A and B are shown apart, each in its own frame.
Chain A
């Protein structure tokens, strides 16, 4: 008996959804509802997921498949002297071994600049860099084959200190140099000296996305090697397709990419990991290849959040009004470029936070080192900036004798304010409301003297008693750009077909857990008055949807689905108008009927579309943006969202241990399209921000990851997660197709500084670095 979840066809996880007479429990009341926009619609893949039937990319199995595995560099920087594959080839069950010489097309890839080798051939630049791949009959055979490959390295002195990478005399570790990007922002009066000046240097460690579903893919070669199908967990199938095709030297249409079930992403699946390797092995062996990283390998196999060092000085009046910011920001990009250039721009353009500021001097550097490559992670450069500016706001508050709330209210930006890039905030900007609504959320009850030990710091470790614990409160507020920036046209495509009252939607939008599969049918139901919506497989047989990142899919792919459905609705109205001799402009959708606004004509959408077939495709483009000029001026971002967080923590001050008790938050969401999905994004983002605040860090030693496992890279558990009380602020965004802003990233951004501030409040320590370790608090 074999795994029957998938077959040799690559259509997986097709989803059919219908809400006819769906019961839902709302409080104690049961009511029938239609899952239109705004309803608490349920995930159409939920039933499969709770039964273990949903096919994640790691669940795919095929007849005659082989396993692929990757040999990685043990050194942070070394020259490859020789690679001897002969002993590995001698192992029974080994079918293929490939290295750089087997890459038929472009030898490198990369999201922004193509500087990362498919396989290292001359130098390895980070621990974990791929050197070779094997295909064999069993994962254990693969491991033995990898062990039998003999690579001779000439070990070189690695560059692991980002500050040293800035120095001109430091030898270049890559032909493209050690500076991935430098950008400054110069604006306003450069001579202002505030009555109040506060400054500090802040640091953030390297965070891992730590999605649960490890990198996995299956490649199916065409007979004769003319093309390949790849089923993969990724964030952007068209970008994968483009990069894979170039490396394979195949026409783009010969590389067909299908989204496999994705077990979380958070930015870590934007870059190429095993895509090219898996396709190469399939073409080489003419057999399906399954590749799946282990957790340890996953830590080496994808990019991480950039560690950063940020010096920042605020000038303000005695009343606490910010006049000028000076900052130097250094992001460690690791060995290859990935998205460092864009992360840097996000960092420097958000360093003012959600506060008015007329003058700024900011220097941003993204540098190359022999550390693991860094790239996208939820929050994308803004997490780093926010930790610095929010820590500064509290310093400013103390210096001015104001409360954390008051200093933020006094400086809160509004729609129409100008950013330090010169860009005017056109988005709805309810910063003040975010702060006030958060402030209005009740504080948690004080710690009980007889509290259950599991509710105390240390939990079942019986570490702390109530008398060891001090409670603290802290604030964080943030601004986050939505969509891609700097002239990038990250459009999204969707196709809508209507027949017999049933809608088929097709798009290439990667569902990574965020819930586009629940939103898209809601849109179709709202626009077209249907109930049954079928989602076609997500693959490259339609135009790009762009990446599932940058809080962009609700806006972009949502806009595309909305647009395609509206085009179909026009066709439907014309069709009905012609048959019933009514001006189509008089027709509207009411629930599941088409009605004449003026007369009393009414027909159900099912009846109206029976026997007909409407088919429309729509591309949604956001408004164009500009590149930054030499002084960092330009309308580089599309739109912005805002959020406030208040953290309450219990700290065992003597041992430096922390338990977060409550997070109160009010988030600017534009419009709530699905309350269940929205709260899920808010709570999930908060958990990740909490992780960065107190426990999550990739520990490096000379470029090598010391903790590449879930025993030592700690993620928040149920007993680490506080109560979350969230207010979703609905002020519809005029620019957004559905009035809704992206909500994925903001929750994880200002919660980190809020928790840090709460720990400072409890301990009186400066704590300029996250994650905050026990020894930072108590030693």
Chain B
């Protein structure tokens, strides 16, 4: 039984190269629950909490993208600058768990666990984030869509560490909204991220907690692009809004579980999408 607490990314990569079976722990908010609930018994652990490179964030020189370290705690994503450049991410970060959880949890953890209810994931999906993976032998940059394989399954190889994600800085309204049965500290039973890209006259919609993994509503996006001039704020007609909601609902693949029902989730995610579209077009 070993616990490695490397202080640099290269040490962390060396540790995992040596023992690809080791369990990686970032903030602990998922893994420790599994251990406490007697569902997982790790033998070797590599803790990334002291790898400061993973807690950095930066803006590309040309200002076109922002790169966020996989270990940056959610609490720090409420930072004014991040909130200005990627408001949907800051909004999603604010809804994660409690202040204590936001001090520990991070995008790396959300991606590593890959739960469809992970609050940051719809934002990464809507913004077509690139996930940066590193191993001792190389680096891979893959689209978040390829990274999220299924329910709690992802494309990380055993010897890889999720290092960061890169998001485009887009001109246009973006937002995140979530439904839970409590007014704070609640797991989402439906969530939605909507981002307008004025420059490219595009719109992106991603849904959380209504399918095995995050759902990107590409059909609805394409349809809406044909209906609205996305280069400016529009008046969205009631009929258009309704059809938009119906199309989003069709793309959702929710299930019944102890948290909610499939019917409600479909309704809720469609309602959230309509509200976000309305907000996006409120001058």
Residues of A within 8 A of B179 (CB): 458, 461, 463, 655, 657, 774
Interface residues of B in 248-277 (CB under 8 A from A): 257-261, 263-264, 267-268, 271-272, 275
Interface residues of B in 169-202 (CB under 8 A from A): 175-188, 191
Give the interface segment out of A115-123, A167-175, A561-569, A710-718: A710-718
Top 3 nearest A-B pairs (CB, nearest first) are A706-B258, A719-B184, A461-B178
Residues of A within 8 A of B181 (CB): 657, 694-695, 714, 773-774
CA distance A714 to B264 in the complex (A): 18
Q: Which of A459, A462, A717, A778 contacts B267 (CB 8 A)?
A: A778
| A779 and B267 in contact, given A143-B38, A712-B258 (Cβ under 8 angstroms) | yes
Interface residues of A in 427-475 (CB under 8 A from B): 457-463, 465, 468
Cβ of B247 within 8 Å of any chain A Cβ, yes or no, is no
Residues of A within 8 A of B180 (CB): 458, 461
B275–A461 CB distance below 8 A? no
- Closest CB-CB distance, A693 to chain B, in whole Å? 12
Cβ of A707 within 8 Å of any chain B Cβ, yes or no, is yes
| A462 and B258 in contact, given A655-B271, A657-B179 (Cβ under 8 angstroms) | no
Shortest Cβ distance from A719 into B: residue: B184
Residues of B within 8 A of A778 (CB): 264, 267
Q: Which of A294, A468, A657, A718 contacts B184 (CB 8 A)?
A: A718
Residues of A within 8 A of B213 (CB): none
Most chain-B Cβ atoms within 10 A of its Cβ — which of A296, A459, A659?
Answer: A459
Shortest Cβ distance from A774 into B: residue: B264
- Closest CB-CB distance, A136 to chain B, in whole Å? 14
CA distance A668 to B211 in the complex (A): 51
Residues of B within 8 A of A775 (CB): 260-261, 263-264, 267
Shortest Cβ distance from B187 into A: residue: A711
Interface residues of A in 763-779 (CB under 8 A from B): 773-775, 778-779
CA distance A719 to B180 in the complex (A): 13
Cβ of A490 within 8 Å of any chain B Cβ, yes or no, is no
Cβ of B94 within 8 Å of any chain A Cβ, yes or no, is yes
Residues of B within 8 A of A711 (CB): 187
Most chain-A Cβ atoms within 10 A of its Cβ — which of B36, B91, B186, B260?
Answer: B186
| A655 and B268 in contact, given A462-B91, A714-B181, A717-B182 (Cβ under 8 angstroms) | yes
Q: Which of A460, A656, A707 contacts B94 (CB 8 A)?
A: A460
| A774 and B268 in contact, given A460-B95, A460-B184 (Cβ under 8 angstroms) | yes
Residues of B within 8 A of A712 (CB): 187, 258-259
Residues of A within 8 A of B95 (CB): 460-462
Cβ of A729 within 8 Å of any chain B Cβ, yes or no, is no
CA distance A458 to B261 in the complex (A): 18
- Scan B27-38; emit 1 where CB is below 8 A from any A CB, else 0: 000000000111
Provide a sorted-by-A list of 9 A–B residue pairs whose CB atoms are within 8 angstroms: A458-B179, A461-B180, A461-B186, A462-B95, A465-B275, A699-B258, A717-B182, A719-B183, A779-B267
Shortest Cβ distance from B98 into A: residue: A717
Residues of A within 8 A of B187 (CB): 711-712
Residues of A within 8 A of B178 (CB): 458, 461-463
Cβ of A730 within 8 Å of any chain B Cβ, yes or no, is no
B258–A707 CB distance below 8 A? yes
B38–A717 CB distance below 8 A? no
CA distance A709 to B94 in the complex (A): 23
Shortest Cβ distance from A713 into B: residue: B258
**Chain A residues near B (Cβ < 8 Å):** 143, 294, 296, 457-463, 465, 468, 654-657, 659, 694-695, 699, 701, 706-707, 709, 711-712, 714, 716-720, 773-775, 778-779
**Chain B residues near A (Cβ < 8 Å):** 36-38, 91, 94-95, 175-188, 191, 257-261, 263-264, 267-268, 271-272, 275, 279
- Closest CB-CB distance, B265 to chain A, in whole Å? 9
CA distance A656 to B177 in the complex (A): 15
CA distance A654 to B179 in the complex (A): 12
CA distance A694 to B181 in the complex (A): 8
CA distance A699 to B263 in the complex (A): 18
| A296 and B183 in contact, given A461-B178, A462-B176, A468-B275 (Cβ under 8 angstroms) | no
Residues of A within 8 A of B259 (CB): 707, 712
CA distance A716 to B94 in the complex (A): 19
A296–B258 CB distance below 8 A? no
CA distance A461 to B187 in the complex (A): 10
Residues of B within 8 A of A720 (CB): 182-184
Shortest Cβ distance from B279 into A: residue: A465
CA distance A457 to B183 in the complex (A): 6
Residues of A within 8 A of B267 (CB): 775, 778-779
CA distance A694 to B186 in the complex (A): 14
- Closest CB-CB distance, A139 to chain B, in whole Å? 10
Q: A655-B268, A779-B267 are in contact. List 17 more A-B contacts (CB 8 A).
A: A143-B38, A296-B37, A457-B183, A458-B183, A461-B188, A462-B175, A463-B177, A654-B271, A655-B271, A695-B181, A699-B258, A714-B182, A719-B183, A720-B182, A773-B264, A774-B264, A779-B264
CA distance A701 to B95 in the complex (A): 30
- Closest CB-CB distance, A22 to chain B, in whole Å? 34
CA distance A717 to B185 in the complex (A): 8
Residues of A within 8 A of B182 (CB): 695, 714, 716-717, 720
- Closest CB-CB distance, B241 to chain A, in whole Å? 12
Most chain-B Cβ atoms within 10 A of its Cβ — which of A294, A461, A701, A779?
Answer: A461
Shortest Cβ distance from B93 into A: residue: A460
Residues of A within 8 A of B258 (CB): 699, 701, 706-707, 712
Residues of B within 8 A of A296 (CB): 37
CA distance A458 to B184 in the complex (A): 7
Q: Which of B38, B183, B261, B271 contacts A459 (CB 8 A)?
A: B183
CA distance A552 to B179 in the complex (A): 41
Residues of A within 8 A of B94 (CB): 460
CA distance A179 to B122 in the complex (A): 51
CA distance A468 to B279 in the complex (A): 12
Residues of B within 8 A of A458 (CB): 177-180, 183
Residues of B within 8 A of A717 (CB): 182-185
- Closest CB-CB distance, B115 to chain A, in whole Å? 12
Residues of A within 8 A of B188 (CB): 461
Residues of A within 8 A of B184 (CB): 459-460, 717-720
